[in-house]
Chains A and B, each alone.
Chain A
Amino acid sequence: MTGARTSTLATLHGSIERIETHGDAHTPGRVALGHADADAMLQGGLAVAAMHEVFTDAGRQSAAATGFVAGLAGRVAARRPLVWVRQDFTEIESGALSMSGLAELGLDPRLLVTVRAADVDTALRTAADALACDALGAVVLEVWGQARQLDLVASRKLTLAAQASGVTGLLLRLAAEPQPSTAETRWIVRAAHSPPAAHWSAWGAPMFDAQLVRNRHGPVGRWIMEWKCDECLFSKPAAYPQPVAAAPAHRPHQAPARARQRRAN
């Protein structure tokens, strides 16, 4: 009797939660990106209350990665404030985040608070503080190059803070190599060509060659994604004849690193 009642209660809780979360999110705790294949691979979308990492291997790809992170933040934050913590050096190396550009992507500059941290340590600490504040929609931490401060311990702290508050953390690593971490997903992003079209038609919508190299709860893959500025979601480009590498069926990325990280958990 008691068991039946508890399960009824749980079902009701679940349905209320489903109604209250994002309209298009099917799975609680996940926000759909809009790209059908990627959402399927991520079991419904990007997990909230977790850390996600976005890497670029070269500095000149930083704008693409920034656009991808801005898109993720826009999906996840859903009209709530966004804190963008960045290291001073990234501004010199690849330009400052432009609010006009952000508005052009369909995001709202009014909801953005930028923190200009002098170095990685300050940036990390500020990001951890911000992640603990549950009024935020998302926190972006933008760091240049290999940073030894961003080790497994730091990553674990950020993850715990994100889990406790329900705020999603996005780590934007410019010109850096992936390191072991406790992130939920890890992406390597490059800019992709605009699809071939007639000479006079509009071109230049943000196109990403997004490679999912780590997914804690599923397989990985690689997709070409287009950010739809008007609808604020990722989508499959309509016509894209260029071949894309097939998604690997296994999860090859950095097996020893992952084993280490399991132990650390």
Chain B
Amino acid sequence: MGTGSREENVSKQNSNKDPSIVVAKQNNALQIFALDDAAARLGLEVGLPLANARAICPQLRVFDADEVSDARTLNDIAEWCDRFTPLVALDSPHGLFLDITGCAHLFGGEAAMMRLMCDVLSAQGFAVSAAIAGTSVCARTMTRHVHGRIVRDGEEAEAVEPLPVSALGADEAITRGLRRAGLKTIGDVACRARHEITARFGAGFTTLLEHALGQGDAPISPRKPLPDYIVEKRFADPVTTETVISATLSRLAAMLVVAMAQQGKGARRLEARFFRTDGAVRTIIVDTGQPVTRAEVIDRLFRERLDALSDPLDPGFGFDLIRLSASRTEIVVQQQRDLDANVHDNDELAALIDRIAARIGGRRVVVHLPQDTHIPERAVLAAPAQHRLTAATQAVWPARVEGEPPLRPLRLFERPEQIKVIAQVPDGPPARFVWRRATHAVVRAEGPERVAMEWWRPQGEMLTRDYFRVEDEAGLRFWLYRDGLYDREIEQEDGKAVQPNWFMHGLFA
């Protein structure tokens, strides 16, 4: 078979004997959204109003539809299906597509794989209907009517022709139109000339029909992009102990590195996935600043990450599959290391940054880049060190003026703190100020240094600042500013001047 696709219809089964239905509000009335076998045997069907259903069967158990939880459950099942193939696509609201090209032999062939999958899902209480076919639409059409069918390559048309048109899953209006035209099965529709069908039901339906007949295929859109390199280890007995898990990770790391080395690649993002026997899947992602090419480094990064997890890896009844993949890779330029100590130092620093970032998060390890602005709090950008280390080491900072004392404070408040100031009007330096409930008498002051806001940026009302460098009687040096210019920016109210606001912005050494 060229490509394999497969689809499952999943709905929650109730072990209770009373017939149960799920209702949802449609067209301003509660209608049946889903139902179990017992209810179906009573003649109830999807779309029937709840009142009618109650009249047919008074002891009906009724549940409200919860589409968000349904979607989450489907997503969890898709996550679980990742163990069979990396290409899993959602087909909302009830289906999943799995591209099993080249995967089936790992599970003993297509039939065995499908049986394994359906058995596990049924054991969890889901009603499953599955099929394997050359095109995804054909497989989906099959699941609507029969379970467990494997359609050989080239036999798609034969397989779907006896099925009713509703199995195609087209719009309700189209299905009704086909039935009214006397076209009951897909075979009937396929007999007609394509242009007639297109003229009556649109090109979209024709394409759908052709795909179902195996005359073309639409690609599925997987939930996650295919990683560049994958290595995995399956366990016959689920593993629970930390030693085995970490030993497995080291072994997988070594395998991954070998695979990448053959193509001269290094990993920038690594993903470890732990598949638990009960279906839960835990993913742990590690980013690196430089392409990693050594197994020890990968191993150490994951150990740091696992140590620092706020909710630790819970093996429960054990993991039966551990997978390590490199989802982003880069070509590694081989450098001669022995003679150039500087290159070595930079590598060491990058490795240290990766380790710290793996433990406490990449945004908490930063380097600093100068920005082209006069506004003090925006003059420096703190960027993640993993990504911008090279840029930061090559940045050009404004040169300091020789012979001058520092003109910018060593510690800068992110949010300037408002203070009470006694100062000469209109723009004299402060004589005395109160900061954090302590009064400071100013002994020396220098200023103002006027910083105008950037009028070309849309940022709301920001006033011009007059900065002063002051020293108090204890020798502490501060950086203060008055927000706004007298007469121009600070308005008068009823002929009386409004007091300007003063702020503490930084501390000098």
Task: List the interface of chain A (C-beta within 8 A of B).
Answer: 60-64, 66-68, 70, 80-81, 83, 91, 94-106, 108-118, 122, 125-126, 129-130, 133-136, 190-194, 202-209, 227, 229-230
Contacts and interface: CB of A to CB of B under 8 A. Distances in A.
A130 B356 contact: yes
A109 B80 CA distance: 48
Interface residues of B, number: 60
Contacts of A194: 444, 471, 475, 477
B412 interface: yes
A130 B351 CA distance: 11
Nearest to A202: B405
Nearest to A116: B364
Most B C-beta atoms less than 10 A away, residue of A63, A114, A130, A229: A63
Contacts of B364: 115-118
Nearest to A194: B471
B89 interface: no
A-B residue pairs, 5 tightest by C-beta: A67-B509, A63-B507, A95-B411, A135-B348, A104-B406
B509 A66 contact: yes
Interface stretch (B54-62, B66-74, B271-279, B396-404): B396-404
Given A98-B506, A104-B400, A136-B349, A126 B360 contact: yes
B446 A101 contact: no
20 contacts: A63-B409, A63-B410, A63-B477, A63-B508, A96-B412, A98-B411, A101-B406, A101-B411, A105-B410, A110-B392, A110-B395, A115-B360, A122-B360, A129-B356, A130-B356, A191-B509, A202-B403, A203-B444, A204-B406, A204-B469
Contact of B367 (A112, A192, A204, A205): A112
Contact of B368 (A80, A114, A122, A229): A114
Overall SS of chain B's interface: mixed
A115 B477 CA distance: 26
Interface in B383-426: 385, 389, 392-395, 397-398, 400, 402-414
Given A96-B411, A100-B376, A191 B506 contact: no
A110 B404 CA distance: 22
Given A109-B397, A194-B444, A62 B507 contact: yes
A248 B376 CA distance: 43
Q: Which of A101, A103, A117, A129 has the most CB of B within 10 A?
A: A101
B392 A204 contact: no
Contact of A91 (B398, B414, B436, B438): B414
B380 interface: yes
A191 B474 contact: yes
A94 to B, nearest CB: 6
Given A60-B438, A95-B506, A110-B392, A204 B405 contact: yes
Given A116-B366, A204-B471, A101 B360 contact: no
Nearest to B443: A193
Contacts of B179: none
Contacts of B365: 113-116
A241 B404 CA distance: 22
Given A66-B509, A110-B393, A135-B352, A99 B402 contact: no
A113 B345 CA distance: 14
Given A115-B360, A229-B405, A206 B438 contact: no
A113 B411 contact: no
Contact of B406 (A94, A110, A115, A229): A229
Given A100-B379, A110-B393, A208-B509, 12 more contacts: A60-B507, A63-B410, A67-B509, A96-B411, A101-B406, A112-B368, A126-B356, A136-B352, A194-B471, A203-B405, A206-B406, A227-B509
A229 B400 contact: yes
A130 B406 CA distance: 29
A230 B356 contact: no
A101 B405 contact: no
A92 B286 CA distance: 30
A98 B345 CA distance: 25
A193 B475 contact: yes
B382 interface: yes
A101 B412 CA distance: 8
A11 to B, nearest CB: 26
A209 B368 CA distance: 30
Contact of A113 (B385, B398, B507): B385
Given A130-B352, A134-B348, A135-B345, A230 B475 contact: no
Given A205-B406, A229-B400, A191 B380 contact: no
A106 B471 CA distance: 21
